[in-house]
């Protein structure tokens, strides 16, 4: 599956807003596997991830005309819709959540080696740099939460740390991230 450039996705969303079914299908084809991966990481169960993708695209069809006002890149806008739906639907209790620690460990390396588009926007590079500035524990906690949608208590169980400590890692980690991104001019 080829990756449509962001500019092309913009056009497809605009045509979707006009009720153009063919454009909507192209939009789905161009983004489904990325967005399915985003959801599956969080909800872990395929049937649930399928439900998320379905709900999200019905939502994208209905809200396509709001997209222009969102002022985000197309993938950012759609990813947010999928992530939010995933977080809403994830329901299992996870005493010992099934997480991909390699992904989390590679986070900084990967984020520091961004793809060309993100590099052109200057965002990925800043994010990688800023994540590298965090304490190892803060970084790990934030990555676990982001990729796997873990709650505070799930994070605490997985990391075998007290709940309060985990909450502090998340809060301080995000605060430092924001300060760093502000310095880099990303203004998160």
CB of 95 to other proteins, least distance (A): 17
Window contacting other proteins (CB under 8 A); options: 91-99, 132-140, 157-165, 169-177: 169-177
Of 10, 34, 165, 168, the one binding other proteins by CB under 8 A: 34
Q: At what angle do helices 21-43 and 46-63 cross, to 10 degrees?
A: 140
Beta-carbon count within 10 A of 31 CB: 25
Regarding 54 and contact with other proteins (CB under 8 A), the answer is: yes
Restricted to residues 72-91, the positions that interact with other proteins (CB under 8 A) are 72-73, 75-77, 79-80, 83-84, 87-88
DSSP state of 5: P
Report the candidate in 38, 14, 34, 35 with the shortest Cα–Cα distance to residue 24: 14
CA distances from 141 to 80, 105, 169, 188 (A): 20, 11, 7, 19
Regarding 49 and contact with other proteins (CB under 8 A), the answer is: yes
Q: Is residue 55 a contact partner of residue 69, using CB atoms and an 8 Å limit?
A: no
Regarding 92 and contact with other proteins (CB under 8 A), the answer is: no
Of 142, 156, 157, 158, the one binding other proteins by CB under 8 A: 142
Of 4, 13, 38, 43, the one binding other proteins by CB under 8 A: 38
Regarding 43 and contact with other proteins (CB under 8 A), the answer is: no
Rounded distance between C-alpha atoms, residue 66 and residue 78, angstroms: 12
């Amino acid at each position: 599956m080829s990756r449509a450039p962001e500019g092309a996705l913009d056009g497809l969303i605009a045509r979707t807003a006009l009720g153009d079914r063919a454009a909507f299908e192209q939009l789905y084809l161009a983004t489904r596997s990325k967005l399915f991966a985003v959801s599956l990481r969080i909800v872990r169960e395929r049937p649930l991830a399928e439900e998320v993708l379905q709900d999200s695209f019905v939502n994208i069809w209905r809200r396509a005309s709001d997209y222009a006002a969102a002022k985000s890149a197309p993938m950012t806008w759609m990813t947010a819709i999928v992530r939010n739906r995933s977080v809403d639907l994830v329901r299992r209790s996870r005493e010992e959540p099934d997480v991909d620690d390699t992904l989390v460990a590679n986070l900084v390396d990967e984020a520091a080696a961004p793809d060309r588009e993100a590099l052109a926007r200057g965002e990925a590079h800043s994010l990688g740099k800023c994540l590298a500035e965090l304490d190892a524990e803060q970084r790990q906690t934030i990555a676990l939460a982001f990729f796997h949608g873990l709650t505070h208590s799930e994070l605490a169980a997985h990391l075998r740390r007290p709940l309060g400590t985990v909450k502090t890692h998340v809060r301080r980690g995000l605060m430092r991230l924001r300060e760093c991104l502000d310095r880099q001019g990303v203004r998160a």
